[in-house]
Structure 1
């Protein structure tokens, strides 16, 4: 079972920062879950929210700022390529969640370019709530591993995965059950769950047979 740090290790360091991701490395996580989106000038950054309000008390939207303008607000938001370069010589993998819900302005092409440039294709899992994006990624490069993100209990989870031509299923933890895990495994798909933050819950889902647990903390 993979131990996956949520936004790096969100419970210990500021989420989605280089510090948080490197903390996940030092704590022995197998993978770090991070979020990506694009700035106005087409740079892929690692950040969750569509604006800077929650973390930096600034109402400006990411999509309206160039990367240089973003740096004038904070230097805590790294470029995706900086993250990859920082962990390239470690065993850390990345679960990259694409946050683009309304502007798909070249993010797929740029993401694939960065992964190829740094020879990182085999160390990523790409996930999104926008399953059309995942299907498009598979059209561009079938070798890239993808997972549908879900925050509900589908009637037929396997059909959701198949429709996106994905490799697995990343579920909000309390919508994952034995039936889903069994059905996905029978069809050759993995199941990761998010966000589990107590040891008791982690042990419970580990025994249930999930393939990865995403957490804010080091629970194992």
Structure 2
């Protein structure tokens, strides 16, 4: 059996400051790591920066996400790149700066998180009609062009992923050079339709929709508990698409997903990928 690829969620956010240069470099040092997953949004000037939340004041297990305040895309690049992540010395990086720090032996999965608009306008997880699709693409296009430009000097593999059709449309319009993946939220059929519409190389479903695993018994990521109506793994593989599952937090989850035949594990910890399933201890 071919083992799944290891994709470091926000640079293995379970063991390092998320979306940081140091976290990404540390994640890249693990033999099990194939790609580093990061999130990008624009600073006020349009420069792509690596951060997940809409605002700088989110929290992680009681810790403030940064020591700054405000909405990311309304904040100057100078302020963003001086903002410390989770009380550490690490600061919010630009996409260009993070890519420059990474070895080209590891790939980067860049989640197109937000182009600089109200989150209610993103149309997360939806397959849109033609008019709405064109409108959403226009909103995303300038930012995605900046992201693509920052990737040009990086010779490692780049995969764009997103929950938003507008971002997929913009990425495909920009360049055929990089792969694309649909992130699925609460609608498997919409995810499959978007994968077909943009001929995506991969699909990224949440861990609880992989049929035949015990993980389906837990509600997660917009999906209720219960066996899914669609076997997303079978459907994706029949179409020649990879299936990279998020977010994997334990070795038990990893073992189930590996046994099911997924292609990649988007994981919080490097250790979930390193347990030897032949060990009977």
> So what's the TM-score if we normalise by structure 1?
0.91
Give the conservation status (yes or no) of the 8 Å contact 1:134–1:166: no
Say which SS state the counterpart of residue 69 (structure 2) adopts: strand
Aligned residue in 2 for 1:77: 92
Alpha-carbon distance, 1:138 to partner = 1.1
Aligned residue in 1 for 2:124: none
Alpha-carbon distance, 1:152 to partner = 2.1
> Quick check: which one's strand share is greater?
1
> Quick check: which one's helix share is greater?
1
Residue 107 (structure 2) pairs with residue 93 (structure 1):
yes
Distance verdict in 2 for CA 1:176–1:102, change over 3 Å: farther
Q: Return the alpha-carbon distance in structure 2 between the equivalents of residues 72 and 96 of structure 1.
A: 22
Which has the bigger relative contact order, CA under 8 A and spacing at least 6? 1
Instruction: Give the RMSD, CA atoms, in angstroms.
Output: 1.9
Say which SS state the counterpart of residue 33 (structure 1) adopts: strand
Alpha-carbon distance, 1:99 to partner = 0.9
Of the structure 1 ranges 29-38 and 122-131, higher mean CA displacement relative to structure 2 is found in 122-131
| Number of residue equivalences | 217
Aligned residue in 2 for 1:61: 71
**C-alpha deviations, 1:190-216, integer Å up to 9, x for none?**
111001111111011011111100111
Which of structures 1 and 2 has the bigger CA Rg? Answer: 2
Alpha-carbon distance, 1:59 to partner = 3.4
Aligned residue in 2 for 1:106: 142
Give the conservation status (yes or no) of the 8 Å contact 1:192–1:212: yes
Alpha-carbon distance, 1:4 to partner = 0.7
- The unaligned stretches of length 5 or more in structure 2 are 59-64, 85-89, 118-139, 213-230, 275-281
- The unaligned stretches of length 5 or more in structure 1 are none
Aligned residue in 2 for 1:124: 158
Aligned residue in 1 for 2:25: 22
Alpha-carbon distance, 1:175 to partner = 2.0
Superposed counterparts of 1:113-152, under 5 Å: 113-116=149-152, 118-120=153-155, 123-152=157-186
Distance verdict in 2 for CA 1:59–1:210, change over 3 Å: same
Q: Return the alpha-carbon distance in structure 2 between the equivalents of residues 42 and 157 of structure 1.
A: 28
Q: Return the alpha-carbon distance in structure 1 between the equivalents of residues 44 and 243 of structure 2.
A: 34
Distance verdict in 2 for CA 1:125–1:25, change over 3 Å: same
Say which SS state the counterpart of residue 14 (structure 1) adopts: coil
